[in-house]
Structure 1
Amino acid sequence: MNRVLIAGATGYLGGYIAKELVKLSYPVRALVRNPEKLKQNKIEVTEIVQSEITRPDSIKDCCKNIDVVISTVGITRQKEGLTYMDVDYQANMNLLQEAKKHGVKKFIYISVLNGENLRDLKICEAKELFVKQLIESGLDYCIIRPNGFFSDMTEFYKMATKGRVYLFGDGELKTNPIHGEDLAAVCIEAIQKPDQEIKVGGPETLSHNEIATVAFDALGIKPKITHIPNWVRVVTLKIVRLFTGSKVYGPIEFFMTVMAMDMVAPEYGRHTLREYFTNLNQVNR
Structure 2
Amino acid sequence: MTKEKVLLAGATGYLGKFVMQELIKRGYPTKIVVRNKNKVSLTAPNLEIIEAQVTKPEELKGICENVDVVISTVGITRQKDGLTYMDVDYQANANLINEAKKSGVKKVIYVSVLKGEKLRHLKICEAKEKLGDYLKASGLDYCIIRPNGFFSDMVEFLNMAKSGKVYLFGDGTLKLNPIHGKDLAVVIVDSIMNDEKELDVGGPELLSQNEIAELALKAYHKKIKIVHLPDFFRRFALFAIRTFTGQKTYGPLEFFMTTMAMDMSAPRFGNEKLEPFFNQEVINRKNNH
TM-score (norm 1): 0.97
Match of 2:69 in 1: 68
What count of residue pairs does the alignment treat as equivalent?
A: 283
* CA-CA distance at 1:43 after TM superposition: 5.4
Question: What per-residue deviation string (whole Å, max 9, x for no partner) do you get for residues 146-196 of structure 1?
Answer: 011000001111211211111111111110000000000000000000000
Match of 1:7 in 2: 9
Match of 1:281 in 2: 282
Distance in 2, matches of 1:125 and 1:83, equals 12
8 Å CA contact 1:18–1:43 kept in 2: the answer is: no
* CA-CA distance at 1:46 after TM superposition: 1.6
Match of 1:32 in 2: 34
Match of 1:16 in 2: 18
Distance in 2, matches of 1:157 and 1:105, equals 42
Question: What per-residue deviation string (whole Å, max 9, x for no partner) do you get for residues 60-106 of structure 1?
Answer: 11111101100000001111111100000000000000000000111
Match of 2:185 in 1: 184
Question: What per-residue deviation string (whole Å, max 9, x for no partner) do you get for residues 195-245 of structure 1?
Answer: 001100000000000001111222322211111111011111112111222
Distance in 1, matches of 2:91 and 2:243, equals 26
**Is 1:116 paired with 2:117?**
yes
Distance in 1, matches of 2:278 and 2:57, equals 40
Q: What amino acid is aligned across from residue 19 of structure 1 in structure 2?
A: Q
**Secondary structure, counterpart of 1:125 in structure 2:** helix
Distance change in 2, residues 1:43/1:202 (3 Å): farther
Match of 1:155 in 2: 156
* CA-CA distance at 1:5 after TM superposition: 0.6
Match of 1:128 in 2: 129
- Identity among equivalent positions (%) equals 58
Distance in 1, matches of 2:145 and 2:229, equals 33
Distance in 2, matches of 1:232 and 1:205, equals 26
**Secondary structure, counterpart of 2:40 in structure 1:** helix
**Secondary structure, counterpart of 2:74 in structure 1:** coil
Moved over 6 A (4+): none
Of the structure 1 ranges 227-236 and 108-117, higher mean CA displacement relative to structure 2 is found in 227-236
Question: Which consecutive unaligned segments of at least 5 residues does structure 2 have?
Answer: none
Match of 1:201 in 2: 202
Cα RMSD for the two superposed structures: 1.0
Distance in 1, matches of 2:269 and 2:244, equals 40
Q: What amino acid is aligned across from residue 107 of structure 1 in structure 2?
A: V
Question: Which consecutive unaligned segments of at least 5 residues does structure 1 have?
Answer: none
Match of 1:49 in 2: 50
**Secondary structure, counterpart of 1:284 in structure 2:** helix
Distance in 1, matches of 2:251 and 2:149, equals 16
Of the structure 1 ranges 237-246 and 256-265, higher mean CA displacement relative to structure 2 is found in 237-246
